[in-house]
A and B are shown apart, each in its own frame.
Chain A
């Protein structure tokens, strides 16, 4: 610690250059934190999924609707605890960009199948008694300043019986999702009303969600359900929730590889930047470092001072970038691509990368200092 002021003074020898380098590294680690955070969030989607929940979609395409009559046959499969149907569509609230996801379902069954989705029994009862009722996720309520009792207009691409594409729902309650607040960003409406009011695709649904008694038998249950509809005009593809989530992520592309490629390119560029900064900084201070050697500082100590300076620069900047990323990360929740706090393993990984970056960019100038001969350095050779 008694050498700290010496390292600190070396770091700020050229204030402007250090500030710009620090900001560049901080911005790179801000990007790293946000992208890796989102990456981790995608990973956790599959990880947090339940093997005791199955998703049934059309084998032709995930957006191909299926007849609601499938529900009755699925419910009769031994081992099925409860099942429900889901119709899904997007609506726009007031202006473009305010897109909301709407699930048309049997709310009672849905909340039974998803015990981590929390709604008050009174509001669930109110939903049953209000055909145009809606239960709105807490995130959406907050985002648009809605309150229970509001009548919410949504512009959609779905044509109603009267020819209009504007749908109105009355908010009867709100719901939250334990452990994944980001999922509380949708609206749940009564399928019966939705199906009755729409002009096309009547009696058809987007998916079935099935809760089973024994999660260890999920593969067998999937096969049994799919076998029910084999060779029919509406064949099904049944997966447990984890497999389904992974398939959804794969549809977006290999997010992890994409994120890693971007972050890798940024950090590789950063290596040149910090290497150049450290190189310049040491070049400018050759006589000063030679003086330290002349007054008795061993080669190893002067080398260590340069390396510690590089570590200090990179770790300070990375800490700043990751701190800003941690502060901003909750915002990604509203965008639907993240949630909660920035994971600690992302922060730890970032710090480890910063240390590696510091060593990689600090070793060449430190080695140069180690080999420095005092006489030549003082003579400016």
Chain B
């Protein structure tokens, strides 16, 4: 299958005070369309940095990043914003919903950037909430929902504009085991039934087992699967 995500020799550095720290060291990676990739690794290994680069919310210092057919590593911030709206659905660890908006209004947020009419937006929001099993919670505010329900709303928000790619940063990191399984079931269903490409960062091996492929990062480098198997 064609690669939806392609990174070549990507280097990413952060400046912290007087120090310049290289987080990713010439990393190359391809994610095929319809793949569910789990990125694992210890804290500070560069997982979230890699995810942010793939999602277009951060830029590499060097190297090429092509996602959904566009070389985003050379995009301006304005072009990146427009590209993200069209191609990326982001699921955060702590849901990051707007507290004063209802579930419906939260899910509608990405659609406000489109030219859809109010009726079309409402229809899409209903479909997305139905998909995550929260049709009856549309008028509830985040504080009135459980953690698992809030994460479902966040997933609905990520899916509502039908993005090319779903990126999830520890989507079950703040949930209990049972709720985490439900969220993973949902992501798996979205991957299998909708064919959505997913890149997920996780610490949890059981979450990673749900993915179709697992990659391990250590100190900014992807580990060779054979090395890992031997270890």
Q: Is the interface of A mostly helix, strand, loop or mixed?
A: helix
A10 to B105, CA, bound (A): 13
Closest CB of chain B to A55's CB: distance in Å?
63
A295 to B83, CA, bound (A): 10
Q: Is the beta-carbon distance between A295 and B85 smaller than 8 angstroms?
A: yes
Q: Is the beta-carbon distance between A375 and B57 smaller than 8 angstroms?
A: yes
A209 to B77, CA, bound (A): 76
Closest CB of chain B to A149's CB: distance in Å?
65
A6 to B89, CA, bound (A): 20
Given A2-B112, A5-B105, A374-B58, answer yes or no on A296-B85 (Cβ-Cβ < 8 Å): yes
Which one, A2, A5, A287, contacts B96 given CB within 8 A? A287
Q: Which residues of B contact A (CB under 8 A)?
A: 52, 55, 57-58, 77-78, 81-86, 88-90, 92, 96, 98-101, 105, 109-110, 112-113, 118, 157-158
A293 to B88, CA, bound (A): 12
**A3 contacts which chain B residues (CB < 8 A)?**
112
In addition to A287-B96, A298-B78, 8 A-B residue pairs with Cβ atoms within 8 Å of each other are A6-B98, A6-B112, A10-B100, A288-B98, A295-B84, A295-B158, A296-B88, A298-B77
**B84 contacts which chain A residues (CB < 8 A)?**
294-296
Residues of A182-208 contacting chain B, CB below 8 A: none
Q: Is the beta-carbon distance between B81 and A296 smaller than 8 angstroms?
A: yes
Q: Is the beta-carbon distance between B101 and A9 smaller than 8 angstroms?
A: yes
Number of A interface residues in the complex (CB < 8 A): 23
Judged by a CB distance under 8 angstroms, whether A292 is at the interface is yes
**B81 contacts which chain A residues (CB < 8 A)?**
293, 296-299
Closest CB of chain B to A341's CB: distance in Å?
38
The 7 A-B pairs at the shortest CB distance, nearest first, are namely A296-B85, A9-B100, A298-B81, A296-B84, A374-B57, A291-B96, A375-B58
**A12 contacts which chain B residues (CB < 8 A)?**
100
**B57 contacts which chain A residues (CB < 8 A)?**
293-294, 374-375
A297 to B101, CA, bound (A): 17
Closest CB of chain A to B63's CB: distance in Å?
17
**A287 contacts which chain B residues (CB < 8 A)?**
96
Q: Which residues of A contact B (CB under 8 A)?
A: 2-3, 5-6, 9-10, 12-13, 287-288, 291-300, 374-375, 378
**A299 contacts which chain B residues (CB < 8 A)?**
77-78, 81
A378 to B57, CA, bound (A): 11
Closest CB of chain A to B82's CB: distance in Å?
7
Q: Is the beta-carbon distance between B52 and A375 smaller than 8 angstroms?
A: yes
**B100 contacts which chain A residues (CB < 8 A)?**
9-10, 12-13
The residue in chain A whose Cβ has the minimal distance to the Cβ of B160 is A295
A293 to B56, CA, bound (A): 11
A297 to B112, CA, bound (A): 9
Given A2-B118, A6-B101, A375-B52, answer yes or no on A297-B96 (Cβ-Cβ < 8 Å): no
Q: Is the beta-carbon distance between B109 and A295 smaller than 8 angstroms?
A: yes
A206 to B77, CA, bound (A): 78
List, sorted by A's number, 10 A–B pairs whose CB atoms are closer than 8 Å: A6-B105, A9-B98, A10-B100, A294-B55, A294-B57, A294-B90, A296-B83, A298-B81, A298-B82, A299-B78
Closest CB of chain B to A290's CB: distance in Å?
8
**B113 contacts which chain A residues (CB < 8 A)?**
296-297
Given A374-B57, A375-B57, answer yes or no on A295-B157 (Cβ-Cβ < 8 Å): yes
Closest CB of chain A to B130's CB: distance in Å?
20
Closest CB of chain B to A318's CB: distance in Å?
24
**A295 contacts which chain B residues (CB < 8 A)?**
84-85, 88-90, 109-110, 157-158
A321 to B112, CA, bound (A): 34
Q: Is the beta-carbon distance between B92 and A378 smaller than 8 angstroms?
A: yes
**A296 contacts which chain B residues (CB < 8 A)?**
81-86, 88, 110, 113
Q: Is the beta-carbon distance between B112 and A291 smaller than 8 angstroms?
A: no
**A291 contacts which chain B residues (CB < 8 A)?**
90, 92, 96, 98
The residue in chain A whose Cβ has the minimal distance to the Cβ of B169 is A378
A5 to B118, CA, bound (A): 13
A291 to B95, CA, bound (A): 10
The residue in chain B whose Cβ has the minimal distance to the Cβ of A300 is B78
The residue in chain A whose Cβ has the minimal distance to the Cβ of B53 is A375
A320 to B3, CA, bound (A): 58
Q: Which of B92, B100, B109 counts the most A-chain CB atoms under 10 A from its CB?
A: B100
A21 to B88, CA, bound (A): 38
Q: Is the beta-carbon distance between B109 and A292 smaller than 8 angstroms?
A: yes
A287 to B84, CA, bound (A): 17
A378 to B92, CA, bound (A): 9
The residue in chain B whose Cβ has the minimal distance to the Cβ of A15 is B100
**B96 contacts which chain A residues (CB < 8 A)?**
287-288, 291, 378
Which one, A5, A13, A297, A375, contacts B99 given CB within 8 A? A13
A294 to B83, CA, bound (A): 11
**A378 contacts which chain B residues (CB < 8 A)?**
92, 96
A5 to B98, CA, bound (A): 11
Closest CB of chain B to A83's CB: distance in Å?
72
